Amino acid sequence: QSFLLVLDTRFSDIELQEEEGIPTEEFLESCYAIVPVLDKLGPTVFAPVKMDFVGNIKKINQKFITNKEEFDTLQKIVLHEVNAGVAQVRNSATEALLWLKRGLKFLKGFLTEVKNGEKNIQTAL
């Protein structure tokens, strides 16, 4: 059985809050669960991806822990930063979320290529 199939925390398990959006804590837990996957894929090849991925998770988490009740969803974090005029500031949680989303899309694309039979890592990347 693949280690991908036995992950404790999955994005698909996150229950969206009807009016509120994506729960921050569950989203971050799902992101952290992917980090060992990057190690399994290749600790050298994926080191820069992992470093970027973890750094962005930490930035979002730093914002979240400043006020867990206020920032219980990703949407609330983004709206707060937009209203404060800091959403586009370097190292903001909003910027980190943007790059984290891009990293997740990249990883999904890579894994899709591998799943579809691509054996060459460079080609899959």
84 located within any domain:
yes
Structurally, how many domains does the chain consist of? 1
Is the pLDDT reported for residue 124 higher than 90?
no
Helix H or strand E segment including 53: helix 47-66
Give the closest residue to 100 by CA, choosing from 40, 10, 31: 31
Tokens of 53: 């991925």
Q: What is the pLDDT of residues 17-56, one digit of tens each?
A: 777 789 999 999 999 988 888 888 877 888 888 999 999 9
- Residue 21 located in a structural domain: yes
Q: Calculate mean pLDDT across residues 80-104.
A: 95
| DSSP at 94 | H
CATH number for position 22: 1.10.3520.10
Alpha-carbon span 9 to 36, nearest angstrom: 12
3 pLDDT higher than 90: no
Q: Which pair of structure tokens corresponds to residue 113?
A: 């290529």
pLDDT of residue 8: 67
User: Could you tell me if residue 123 is inside a domain?
Assistant: no
